[in-house]
Structure 1
Amino acid sequence: MAVLAAKSVLKETDSKVNRARSNQLKMVENRIGFAGLESELSIYDTYESANRVGLDSDGITLCGMLTGKKVVHCDDVAFDFLPQQSFVMSPNQHIDIDFPLAKEQAPTTCLTINLSQARIQQISDQLNFKNKPMMEIGEWRYRDSDHLHMDLSQPTQSLLERLVALYSENSDERDLMIELGISELTVRMLQQQARNFLLKQLDYDPELTGLHKALQHIENYLDLPLDTEQLQKLACMSRSKFFQRFKQQLGCTPGEYQMQRRIEVSANKLKQGMSVTQASIESGFQNVSHFSRRFYLRYGKSPTEFKRLNTLAEC
């Protein structure tokens, strides 16, 4: 089930939301908001196409697309913002947004979750206490420079769906469950930023550390079987030390990381119009059925459906 399902979950859990949305069809944009103890969820429906609509963030805001398409202009760069993707705005950041597909019968819909900076710092401190900071990434912290425009993994999609349903609930445990979900979402965000920071360092100097050398080798030979002995030699570490350091820094084993990167690379190839079979082969998969199963686990959609949706979004 993709993030799009969050919209249907919301409709099923709170009829007041349905009425609020259906009564606003004449508005250019309609916002519905729900407050938690340290966070706030908003759902935006936009009913008319528009260009260069300005948006300013006064805090850390995670945005997720549900339906339609936006074009985001950020830091002199423009990119398509599509369903199954996230984008994180930093405090005091300004962006401009185009809504090329929005119309009354098929609104462009997105959600935002405003996150508490104090809570993010608290979680960072907990991670730093539990896991000694490593020189490759430094301390766990939120990085303003990484806006995390990325395709959502299936676990993160499911987490957003649960959060949308929780915000619209009316129960004694609501606030506690929301904050638990927000904590998980924050950890996932910090882990992804740390990974991105580590990978960006490869563009400047792939031999900064032994771990960087191992990562660069994996990136260069994604389509080949993983050679863990070669990775250990490049990292100048014993097998146990290498696996420990790798998992601490990237949150997974080298084999899991290679699989994640193969799937991410194949997704980009599908977006560019490549056939499923060719994307599978060029990403290191020799069996299309195996590729399709792994792809579904990552994105919650078959490669064919993923390609079709991204192609439609470009229209």
Structure 2
Amino acid sequence: MQQKFKPQLVPLQAEKDLKTLVENRSVYTMQHCELNVFETRQQSEKVKLVFDDMVLTTMLRGKKVMHLFGSEHFDYLPGESVIVPDKEEMIIDFPEADLLNPTQCIALAVEATMLKDTLNLLNEKYPKTEKQESWNIDISCFHLQNSLEITSAVNRLINISTENIAGKDVLVDFTLKELLIRLMQTQARKLILDSYNNYTATNRFASAVQYIKAHISEEITIDTLSNLCCMSKPTFFRCFKREFGISPVDFILHERIKIACTMLRDQNVTISEACYAVGINNLSYFFKLFKRIEGKTPNEFRKGLN
């Protein structure tokens, strides 16, 4: 179970400043992007929204039901982001919004030239390990749980965009490029995690992930993984982290805790059993690692299931 990292909340508009109870909008315009903050304080259905540029949306408060790509619809909750292509119509329901429980979401519209420049920089200076692959925003992987890195970049963009500071556009551009890179790394990680069996013939990291999944209860060494990928140990470590935004060691630890979370949902499984089943032989270390990754102890995690 992946932890949802929630961006900081933006102060709600004062009630006297609201123009409507549905989709009140505050706009902060920069040189290469536009930050929109939307607030809704009334249950509504089929609210339509379209942007001329690609948009990264992130939920801050409440709940939406998003309808995308004709028939696709899903619950949209805090700690999640959705990437929407330019000129794609979003149809949004607000099933729970009211004055005491407002819905708040940001939408960051990214100018096409900024996206193109970032992709060109990555593909030229830091190409993908597999020659047939290139950096790009994968619209098929449009609904993401925020990583800590995505959340941190979003928070900095909110702070810079909403404050009156010198060099705002330059700071926004640097942070925006970081956010785009973090998004692509998160997408690459999700794609390999969800479908690694489909890519073992074309992506050497898929073979590493397959091995990790199959041997999660055992000791897993970087030597073994780098040999599987036909790389030296330093090259494997560097390329893995560049493509997925996380070191192979941290990736293994996150996988261990994710499986432990699944096990702990079964009340018949003890915390010690979950610890040892995922290849961690020190219960004290398991507690510390679980708290670092999930933001709560195993006992607190279990209490939150009730």
TM over 0.5: same fold? yes
1:50-65 equivalences under 5 Å are: 50-65=44-59
Unaligned runs of 5+ in 1: 12-16
How far residue 52 of structure 1 moved from its aligned partner, in angstroms, is 3.5
Matches within 5 A, 1:279-298: 281=275, 285=280, 290-291=285-286, 293-298=288-293
Matches within 5 A, 1:108-123: 108-123=103-118
Kindly provide the amino acid, as one letter, of the partner of residue 118 in structure 2: I
Give the aligned partner of residue 122 of structure 2. Answer: 127
Matches of residues 103-252 of structure 1 in structure 2 within 5 Å?
103-135=98-130, 138-147=133-142, 149-199=143-193, 202-252=196-246
How far apart are 1:85 and its partner, in Å?
A: 1.4
Q: CA deviation at 1:217?
A: 0.8
Structure 2 gaps of 5+ residues are none
Secondary structure of 1:5's partner? coil
Q: Contact 1:3/1:158 (CA < 8 Å) preserved in 2?
A: no
Structure 1 179/307 Cα, relative in aligned 2: closer, same or farther at 3 Å?
farther
Provide the alpha-carbon RMSD of the alignment. Answer: 3.4
Match of 1:45 in 2: 39
Of 62, 65, 79, the match for 1:68: 62
Counterpart CA distance in 1 for 2:36 and 2:130 is 38
Give 1:196 deviation, angstroms: 3.5
Deviation at 1:297, TM superposition (A): 4.1
TM-score (norm 2): 0.80
Work out the number of aligned pairs and report it.
Answer: 299
* CA separation of 1:102 and 1:206: change in aligned 2, threshold 3 A: same
Contact 2:43–2:94 (Cα < 8 Å) also in 1: yes
1:266-285 pair list within 5 angstroms:
269=262, 277=271, 281=275, 285=280
Q: Identify which range, 244-253 or 30-39, moves more after superposition.
A: 244-253
* Cα separation, partners in 2 of 1:100 and 1:206, compared to 1, 3 Å: same
| Separation of aligned partners in 1, 2:16 and 2:292 | 34
Contact 1:154-1:299 at 8 Å conserved across structures = no
After TM superposition, the structure 1 stretch with the greater mean CA deviation from structure 2, 201-210 or 59-68, is: 201-210
* 1:231-266 Cα shifts (integer Å, max 9, x gaps): 234333443443344334334332122123344555
Contact 1:25 1:47 in 2 (8 A): no
Instruction: Tell me by how many angstroms 1:215 deviates.
Output: 1.9
- Calculate percent identity across the aligned residue pairs: 26
1:236 partner amino acid: C
Pick aligned residue for 1:260 from 238, 251, 254 = 254
